[in-house]
Amino acid sequence: MLVAVKGATIYPVGGNPVDGGVLLVEGGKIKAVGAAQAIPVPAGAEVIDASGKVVLPGLVDAHAHVGLWGEWYGQAESDGNEMGDPVTPEVRAIDAVWPDHSSFADARSGGVTTLQTTPGSGNAIGGEMLVVKTDSAGKTAEEIVLRCPSGMKAALGENVKRAYGQGFKKRPATRMGTAAVIRQALSKARDYQRKLELGKEDPSRLPDTDLGLLSLVKVLNREMPLRIHAHRADDIVTAVRLAEEFGLDYSIEHCTDGAAVAGFLGSRGARVNVGPTFGGRSKIETRPLHFRNAGILAKAGCKVSVISDHPFVAIPFLSLCAALSCAEGMPEEEALRAVTLTPAETLGVADRVGSLEPGKDADFVVWSGHPFKIRSKVERVYVEGRLVYQA
């Protein structure tokens, strides 16, 4: 089945916008995209007239808690933080993600077609996360997975020390303690990794199975990154210190105070997932919150994704966060990339999603106008060529 979307201004991301362009879709994949003259519509193709509309890739949210907890049911659906132990690398978000949760429908209504849903920041090491498509209606978690696991959650700063130091009256009660707990866990995993190697030659030396350490070994082997929650500049630097000590692939989550250490992060080409920004400054560590942060970090050389952190900013407003980042100095092209191709790269799924180019999944959104115009609406959302939302 061949489908041709015709007449729209197409922002493929990673290439120039095309007025009156054509997007050809076959078998759920993009077959061609470009100017009408260059791409003849084959006879027999189903034509979707999108004249006067704007077509973009489905948005990608690098950090959300969709399906894991949140919005209104309270404790009954609160499955984001397995509290009680500050180190829980053995827990997996896939075991809690609820495809029928209304937040998936919210994501579709905002033009978000791919997202990473992650455990919270109550624990120093919080568990495995995953990347999913949002066309979840009637599907299992396995059926929407794009990458699993896609990272291991870690957290620095106020949340962990509040939960353990004040709440459980145990370690970690300080920022030093939080770093120590993470370092201990990674160090233990390194020993475990060594024992696994020895066990390969002599199975009698294989250590007992430890699901948490097995998961952290994947982090040490750079099979998945450590994704480290850090707001304050010194927490951000601690995150980098830990990641570099163990030679990890990493991303900085939130990075609220990132502008203060933009040069440090930029010189490393760090991957930073910035947000939630359309909300209050609820904690001291979020005091530097400002929409100019994303633009400053991008200019410094970071790979910046703008995130919702749903439910902290409701996921339909991801595009709003990109627009206000643009208003505060991030160039338009960069701001569009920050909710499409850059997060796809950061999540390790850019071979499948994040831009409109031949061979990628046909995940695209028909907007009534440019998403950085406030009156523009998401009109139709397609995942792998199938219509999954219509206004």
Residues 136-165 within binding reach of other proteins (CB under 8 A): none
Kindly state whether residue 279 participates in binding other proteins, applying the rule CB under 8 A: yes
Cα of 183 vs its chain's centroid, Å = 24
**Could you give the 3-state DSSP secondary structure of residue 41?**
coil
- Backbone phi, psi, residue 289, to 5°: -50, 125
Kindly state whether residue 64 participates in binding other proteins, applying the rule CB under 8 A: no
Alpha-carbon Rg for the chain, nearest whole angstrom, is: 21
| CA angle 248–206–223, rounded 5-degree value | 25
Kindly state whether residue 71 participates in binding other proteins, applying the rule CB under 8 A: yes
Kindly state whether residue 310 participates in binding other proteins, applying the rule CB under 8 A: yes
Say if residue 354 is exposed, middle or buried (CB neighbours under 10 Å; 0-12, 13-18, 19+).
buried
In angstroms, give the least distance from the CB of 316 to other proteins.
Answer: 8
Kindly state whether residue 249 participates in binding other proteins, applying the rule CB under 8 A: no
Judged by CB under 8 A, the residue of 373, 386, 387, 390 near other proteins is: 373
**Alpha-carbon gap, residue 354 to 381, rounded angstroms:** 14
Kindly state whether residue 375 participates in binding other proteins, applying the rule CB under 8 A: yes
Kindly state whether residue 204 participates in binding other proteins, applying the rule CB under 8 A: no
Alpha helices in 246-317 (DSSP H): 262-267, 292-299
In angstroms, give the least distance from the CB of 72 to other proteins.
Answer: 4
Cα-Cα-Cα-Cα torsion 99, 100, 103, 108, nearest 10 degrees, comes to 80
Kindly state whether residue 18 participates in binding other proteins, applying the rule CB under 8 A: no
> Which residue stretch of 72-80, 113-121, 183-191, 197-205 sits at the interface with other proteins (rule: CB under 8 A)?
72-80
CA atoms within 13 A on the CB side of 26: 11
Judged by CB under 8 A, the residue of 267, 281, 331, 390 near other proteins is: 281
Judged by CB under 8 A, the residue of 157, 311, 354, 385 near other proteins is: 311
Residue 57 β-bridge partners: 364
Round to the nearest angstrom and report the end-to-end CA distance of the chain: 24
Kindly state whether residue 222 participates in binding other proteins, applying the rule CB under 8 A: no
Kindly state whether residue 75 participates in binding other proteins, applying the rule CB under 8 A: no
> Which residue stretch of 4-12, 195-203, 275-283, 295-303 sits at the interface with other proteins (rule: CB under 8 A)?
275-283
Judged by CB under 8 A, the residue of 140, 184, 221, 282 near other proteins is: 282
**100 touches 136 (CB < 8 A):** yes
Query: 20 or 288, CB closer to other proteins?
Result: 288
Query: 106 or 345, CB closer to other proteins?
Result: 106
Query: 211 or 391, CB closer to other proteins?
Result: 391
Kindly state whether residue 241 participates in binding other proteins, applying the rule CB under 8 A: no
Kindly state whether residue 314 participates in binding other proteins, applying the rule CB under 8 A: yes
In angstroms, give the least distance from the CB of 92 to other proteins.
Answer: 25
Judged by CB under 8 A, the residue of 11, 192, 317, 364 near other proteins is: 317
Query: 326 or 353, CB closer to other proteins?
Result: 326
- Backbone phi, psi, residue 351, to 5°: -70, -20
In angstroms, give the least distance from the CB of 136 to other proteins.
Answer: 18
Cα-Cα-Cα-Cα torsion 338, 157, 188, 219, nearest 10 degrees, comes to 0
In angstroms, give the least distance from the CB of 287 to other proteins.
Answer: 3
Among residues 322, 292, 288, the alpha carbon closest in space to that of 305 is found at: 322
String of DSSP letters for 4-30:
EEESSEE--SSS--BTTEEEEEETTEE
Tokens 């990628």 belong to residue: 360
In angstroms, give the least distance from the CB of 281 to other proteins.
Answer: 4
The residue ranges that bind other proteins (CB under 8 A) are 70-74, 278-284, 286-287, 289, 310-314, 317, 320, 323-324, 326-327, 372-377
